[in-house]
Chains A and B, each alone.
Chain A
């Protein structure tokens, strides 16, 4: 094997060639990073205006031949500012590269691993580098991206260990609730599954992981987010919601390097709802220490007169039930290599104990990335990642619901009797539930890929990659049965004891082939043509056996169950794309790219299963073309247009009969399948137009990147929920049109830059406006989700033409309209007086009047990162905001129904409700808010809160806007001089606080969380969620 240039050189300089090797002399030097002071391996050192270049070795050293003294060297590295140095007479040139606050000079990994200079891109793409991803020590990679990518809405569904996180790019593109709107994740060229499986009884409420959680954030080198149609066109329909391209770290030539990172931290619930602490257990003001009703009794003082054992003060059972969580992660990586082989290997272990007792998560990950240079013309490589992850998950919805029933007269922490059965005065003890009603998942995953590249001649490159993402996800649900002890109380959900075993086998094979040809014509034209083929083949098979009625109450073995039920599901999906791209640049300032792709999918029927879509994008780097004032640095204008198709969910075109599984063993039956399939389904199409402007000023110390996009989706495929009178639960339809329009802004600045002190700041802002333009003919609305509320306060999310996705509909107070005045059919008018009934209480409008009470999609989101660096000390803060959206607070509804909310303190007061009578005259009638017979001798029945307040959805759809100090990290790089005579190369320590401050008007837990799993498009419900946490972490990093 011959030693010539490295693989990196090869990749960077495939464009054309012109041999100028005469009369050269050698220049050498070392490239160091301004942030660490260390030598930088892999920096591209190129001779400006030529294709000659080298890259630095593991210590940052380089040697290059230059033709003469006028030669200019260009030093370039991802995430750092590019520097140009005129050689002059120097023979040694040492260069210090500053981190890049302004990213225009970057090289981006775009679709299919194609590396392109950012300036050539005619669409928006945003990168996040390793340092930004890991500095706040978020265990889930998606959380690490929060507040850093314009246009990406990223939400934790809750604070449970390993709990799923959702990501949405540029809003909702597809309206099927059961179909993911999440972007495609591609890791080192292989599609990585990020689904959130809810397979298994109650798994949808147990905060299951999104599969990206498996990834060790410390393994990641960079993440690039491709947002619009033109950016993702080559990925085909799977990239229709955007693409997140993840590149993991790779080894560098040189001696073995070892890096250790350890993090340890603690956490607590960041926000609790306000609760009343005056009234105790009972009903109608009558004390009963065994009552089901937790808080409709008399005051504590009155109760204490009747029951001397009553505690002096009520417990705060919500705060008592949660505890302090903790976590630690240890990551170790080894890297090194020779010219022929480089490798990086990492091991990581993460353990997390949640704030909800008995919940935890553990992740073990091992990785090996290798690259081979077989000859000048052939390169190859293979990546392997093995992950074992999982833990005990609990149903936070149930936990908080049971807490709402629990009377604070009793200590919830006293949940177990000495004999091990549930301790309770009557109601189910939530902590006993968490301790005994369990679910554990255990995922074994292997992601591997192999690639080979062949470059027979300098203008042609062929590459092929095949990848496998394979895992088994085993889930075990258990609960002990009753023991038959006298006075034993059985936790309701535990029933007669059960053991359920589930297994999902997931496998994808992803193969892609890409041929690239470069050519140059004329003085100023360069062209690149690509042709490719991609295949994606997925099989998911799940099966489970559910055993009920245990004989030995705590022996969790299927053979110990009296009843066995089985469940099984399988789905296969295949997709093939053939695509081409032509990009032409003129004078290195005008770049035009055309793409086309044809997909064939297995989820639609002929002839609808094969479809073509094109894209075109243009980048005009006007700063390189026009003579601009020197204050303006590199700046460009972007324009693009793309059409992108999307297929259906598996089997949406088929109907049939499913096994009827409510019969015992010995009987079989079939029942009509829940879904009404539609053989005539067509692909849905989204056409996106995008324009952008990027500019940099003042020596790149100030810059912005502004994007506007407009996308129109039509023939949306949706499995709509249908009334059971159709005989189906859902029906597959092509249903109407939807529009998204939005802006994205990234602002970078370096307000201060001195020798020892730097202040970098970065602001991201994005706003998306969605509108359903039309739905299927014959339908007036498409309901897609609902959540329970007491006596008519159930809320529904539905699509109505002219309105955006995310609207929350529900019941509302009746407003007064005079003669001839018509109420708005969709919205309530909160400025109008509420109608008060003859009984003196406000009137609820008829339940058939369901109006828009809010919308779950934010008006805008923003993130502000500030980094202050003083010598070796660095402080980074991240403020994150999501403003202008609402959530239905189901917990609030229960807090009203059970007299828990702080505002119910007024229950024994008289009140004249503000409003008018049916005839428009002001209400003057005084009423009592309590239960039973009031002091005025009038019977008030169940009382105001239970009779009226809890039954009106309007009271519980709340503004969920928030601003938070997402993260604050202080890190200190220990001076290298400390380690001069040791084997340690470098070391740093860091202190991080996550979720330190939250500003919101929402009355429940942190409104970022949602009651639906991370794979769901439904985000309007934030009641009984696993509460978010505030965490404090300490990190140590040592390099050897």
Chain B
């Protein structure tokens, strides 16, 4: 019994003293064990580059319906028919990526890591470009910096100017040679730590931005050409990202489709573009993009109509995104911007500047580069190039031809929709989807519910056929 007393007393004292004695440290539990306060720059770079790659695909997963690369197997699908769809997921991914990029830049500035500051600027400019292209105005000057919980929306024009400036500053930072921390090869998931390639990417983004305003009086083809010259020199320079938890997200769509979780059906517009129906010439890239149907043919699906069969959706009598394609295979990188695309930017700018020969050379170089990228053998490639519908000669080059060929190069890239709008969807036989919700082509995306509901500064989204600032 004595023992019990003693134990009791011990318990009692333990309890009381535990609380009273060392309150100071005992209640000091502010370091969240789930977080770190200052991760190294390379661990921020891996996140920033990975998110950028994924975001370029994420946005394209919607806009590829608008440019009719893809069509829904289901009739009247909301995205396919221009209904308002809530893209909170994409918007959030873009803004949360920008926050990470912002943090990387801050840390880079603190540590005198100019390489990281430069890359952060370029990635930030890329994301601003996505906002400008899809929604128009967007938060930036008050965003991600803890100054307010309801950031104001900066005008599209301001974002545009900011993006250009960020690119110029980024190039300047990367040209410095005294970065206190050098770019991590292993954690730079886009260029493997190659500063030269980053500078070229900065110029490629700059070329895109400058070319975007082709409808506006401020359009300056000479500036576009200058940026293009400083951008990619070959396919090896392309900005792409190939690190996936599982497989390339397009390949994942294709894999699900094989399991009859339907998706990734190629649009009739794209397939006819390539299979000779529209232009009378079969593009050899067709078989590098997709696989033939069970009948050995290439059949697309009309937008808004859904599966047209003739068989039901379990029979592969139309074509889809393919895991066999070098663009959408399991291990295929996501292309963010490419040498081939730059050649078409050059072709367009040169054409608009009146330099037909340069335009034509770039046009041919662009097709050639893309054929090489997707692995078209030289013979097939040259046959295509020499086809009178393609190799028209400098004198016969038209903007239509440039846009027609660029349409293939930007397959499943978000930039395609920007081109389509600049070109006013003038592609041959491009039509409104069946049962479209709008009477004209779609021109913008509605602000997402996620931002609208939490940020009262979000502007009202006008009808989706209303053009954005640079598209007027």
Contacts and interface: CB of A to CB of B under 8 A. Distances in A.
Interface of A: 283-284, 288-290, 292-293, 374-375, 378, 380, 426, 450, 452, 454, 462, 464, 466, 482, 487-490, 492, 495-496, 511-513, 533, 535, 548-549, 563, 565, 568-574, 576, 600-603, 605, 609, 650-651, 653-658, 660, 662-664, 667-673, 676-677, 720-729, 731, 733, 778-781, 783, 786, 788, 791-792, 794, 796, 798, 846-848, 850, 941-942, 946
Given A657-B37, A671-B100, A723-B451, A292 B74 contact: yes
Given A664-B243, A667-B46, A669-B43, A374 B96 contact: no
B275 to A, nearest CB: 26
Given A464-B11, A513-B12, A672 B100 contact: yes
Interface in B20-50: 20, 23, 26-39, 43-47, 50
B276 interface: no
B151 interface: yes
B119 to A, nearest CB: 14
B25 to A, nearest CB: 10
B16 interface: yes
A489 B39 contact: no
B353 interface: no
Contacts, number: 253
A658 B100 contact: no
Contacts of A288: 312
B16 A565 contact: no
B12 A464 contact: yes
Contacts of B1: 374-375
Interface stretch (B138-146, B196-204, B206-214): B138-146
A723 B29 contact: no
B271 to A, nearest CB: 22
Given A669-B43, A723-B149, 7 more contacts: A378-B5, A380-B4, A489-B314, A667-B189, A676-B146, A725-B143, A942-B76
Nearest to B452: A848
Given A576-B23, A669-B43, A664 B244 contact: yes
Contact of B36 (A283, A563, A670, A676): A670
B98 A779 contact: no
Nearest to A541: B33
B149 A720 contact: yes
A654 B35 CA distance: 9
Given A511-B15, A563-B246, A672-B103, A724 B95 contact: yes
Contacts of B34: 568-571, 651, 658, 673
B15 A466 contact: yes
A594 B331 CA distance: 71
B27 A724 contact: no
Contacts of A462: 12
B451 A724 contact: yes
27 contacts: A284-B75, A290-B313, A565-B245, A570-B33, A571-B33, A600-B27, A654-B31, A656-B36, A658-B35, A663-B47, A669-B46, A670-B44, A670-B47, A671-B100, A673-B34, A722-B454, A723-B95, A723-B451, A724-B92, A724-B95, A725-B455, A726-B143, A726-B149, A729-B96, A783-B454, A794-B86, A796-B453
A572 B51 CA distance: 31
Contacts of A572: 29, 33
A660 B47 contact: yes
Interface in B109-147: 138-139, 143-146
Contact of A662 (B50, B99, B150, B313): B50
Nearest to A656: B35
B144 A725 contact: yes
Contacts of B37: 656-657
A528 B454 CA distance: 53
B30 A653 contact: yes
Nearest to A720: B149
A450 to B, nearest CB: 8
B144 A726 contact: yes
A535 B150 contact: no
Contact of A374 (B4, B98, B244, B306): B4
Contact of A723 (B15, B313, B454): B454
A233 B435 CA distance: 64
Nearest to A655: B35
Contacts of B456: 780-781
Contacts of A658: 34-35
B441 to A, nearest CB: 17
Contact of B28 (A602, A673, A791, A798): A602
B330 to A, nearest CB: 11
A139 to B, nearest CB: 35
Given A426-B314, A670-B39, A725-B151, A791 B78 contact: yes
Interface residues of B, number: 89
B91 interface: yes
B289 interface: no
B451 A656 contact: no
Nearest to B15: A511
Contact of B15 (A464, A729, A731, A791): A464
Contacts of A779: 149-150
Given A489-B260, A492-B261, A723-B454, A283 B96 contact: no
B31 A721 contact: no
Contacts of A535: 15, 18-19
Contacts of A487: 314
Contacts of A464: 8, 11-12, 15
Nearest to B102: A727
A670 B460 CA distance: 34
B396 interface: no
A486 to B, nearest CB: 10
A841 to B, nearest CB: 14
A728 B100 CA distance: 10
Contacts of A603: 29
Interface in B145-160: 145-146, 148-151
Nearest to A463: B12
B345 to A, nearest CB: 30
B280 interface: no
A720 B84 CA distance: 27
B314 A290 contact: yes
B54 interface: yes
Contact of B32 (A576, A651, A720, A946): A651
A283 B76 contact: yes
Contacts of B245: 563, 565, 662-664
Contacts of A576: 19, 23, 27
B465 interface: no
A602 B26 CA distance: 8
B472 interface: no
B256 interface: yes
Nearest to B31: A654
B451 A492 contact: no
Given A667-B46, A670-B36, A778-B150, A727 B96 contact: yes
Interface in B221-277: 243-246, 255-256, 259-261
A722 B27 CA distance: 29
A439 B186 CA distance: 37
Nearest to A576: B19
Leading 9 A-B pairs by shortest Cβ distance: A727-B99, A656-B35, A727-B144, A490-B259, A290-B312, A669-B47, A670-B39, A723-B455, A725-B139
Which of B260, B454, B456 is most buried by chain A, counting CB atoms within 10 A of its CB?
Answer: B454
A489 B100 contact: no
Which of B15, B150, B460 is most buried by chain A, counting CB atoms within 10 A of its CB?
Answer: B15
A1000 B318 CA distance: 49
A727 B98 contact: yes
A492 B255 CA distance: 11
Contacts of A452: 8, 11-12
B450 interface: yes
A488 B255 CA distance: 13
A660 B312 CA distance: 42
B260 A380 contact: no
Interface string B436-464: 00000000000001111111101011000
